Chains A and B, each alone.
Chain A
Amino acid sequence: MAYPSNSSLSVIFSNLQKASEKQQKPKTAELFGRLAVDFDKGSSEVNDFVGLKDLVSNELSEKYPEVQAAADSVKDRGALRALVWGQKVAAIQKSLIDRYLLKGDELLIGKALFVCEACGFVSLGADVPEICPVCKAPASRFSKV
């Protein structure tokens, strides 16, 4: 079996932490949580929104079509679902950065940010969305930043 690279280990473990919480296994969840921290060793050369926007943009135009083709060819519907959500969320991430680069701090006046814990959708508005437009999770799955 091929092992995942170091830069996906923290994510794998934090996902397993959430899975263990859902299974009502707090001790196992805590261990996976600690592993997620232990293996969170990444760093970034990119240090501004312009650079971050390029990363998101390149992922959408270069990376996603490649993964999409692989998922299409084996008809993995779970992966296809993740790609549908992921591409929508990435497009929204990019658009938010674009709008911030244009308007600056004014963009957030009178508004709050909410993140859907199920799919990662970021909402910018006065109130929490009733339902997630990307994955249809209810308002209770959103956390306020």
Chain B
Amino acid sequence: MYASRNSAKCTKDCLCLFVCPTGATDTETGQIDAERCLDGCRLCVDACPSHAIFLVMSNYSEPAPKNSELAGKLLELCESKYQQEKAAEVIITNAESTPKKKLAEALRRSFRITAEDCAREAGYMLPQSEKVKKLLEKFAGINEDAKSALEGL
């Protein structure tokens, strides 16, 4: 577990700098240096007055299994939303006015976000899960990115 800073909540009181034994919290990017952060130390998390620092897990347990019939139906819903996204893309390309283009773009993003939610609830929530690993294995032989992603999990 290593510390991470939510810069939107950080009030720059910098108490994390006082308590960090390795200086990992003091960086030019505003993010905590994961290389120097001590596993599970959490001194900065507790010291932060604005609750802007949290711990990111290194290990995740296998998620609860999903009912396969329901998962299949959720993926169908995901496909239906993907089709809507594609239709919105065509409308964006052909739009003769900026307002029309903007509305289609807002809808395009909305379809993608709701489709992702269906994919998540169909069991593709956690990158490290067995279900995701099996999916990547299927493509690892033909796609370099799938191979690298699988190796990195």
Contacts and interface: CB of A to CB of B under 8 A. Distances in A.
B20 to A, nearest CB: 17
Given A11-B112, A15-B116, 10 more contacts: A4-B135, A7-B79, A28-B152, A31-B148, A67-B77, A86-B114, A96-B107, A105-B99, A105-B100, A113-B103
B146 interface: yes
A79 to B, nearest CB: 5
B55 to A, nearest CB: 10
Interface residues of B, number: 72
Interface in B10-32: none
What does DSSP make chain B's interface, helix, strand, loop or mixed?
Answer: helix
Residue of B34, B100, B107 with most chain A CB atoms under a 10 A cut-off: B107
Given A82-B117, A120-B111, A44 B87 contact: yes
Contact of A48 (B86, B91, B149): B91
Contact of B105 (A18, A81, A145): A145
B70 A46 contact: no
Interface residues of A, number: 75
A35 B127 CA distance: 13
Interface of B: 2, 4, 8, 34, 56-57, 66-70, 72-91, 94, 97, 99-100, 102-107, 109-122, 124-127, 131-132, 134-135, 138-139, 143, 145-146, 148-149, 152-153
B116 A7 contact: no
A55 B126 CA distance: 30
Contacts of A52: 84, 87-88, 91, 107
B77 A14 contact: no
Given A1-B134, A18-B116, A120 B110 contact: yes
B83 A44 contact: yes
What does DSSP make chain A's interface, helix, strand, loop or mixed?
Answer: helix
B110 A79 contact: no
Given A11-B112, A12-B135, A76 B100 contact: no
Interface in A92-133: 93, 96-97, 100, 105, 107-109, 113-122
Nearest to A113: B106
Contacts of A34: 145
Nearest to B134: A1
Given A31-B148, A38-B145, A121-B110, A3 B84 contact: no
Residue of A52, A100, A114 with most chain B CB atoms under a 10 A cut-off: A52
8 contacts: A3-B135, A11-B112, A15-B124, A16-B127, A55-B83, A64-B77, A67-B73, A122-B106
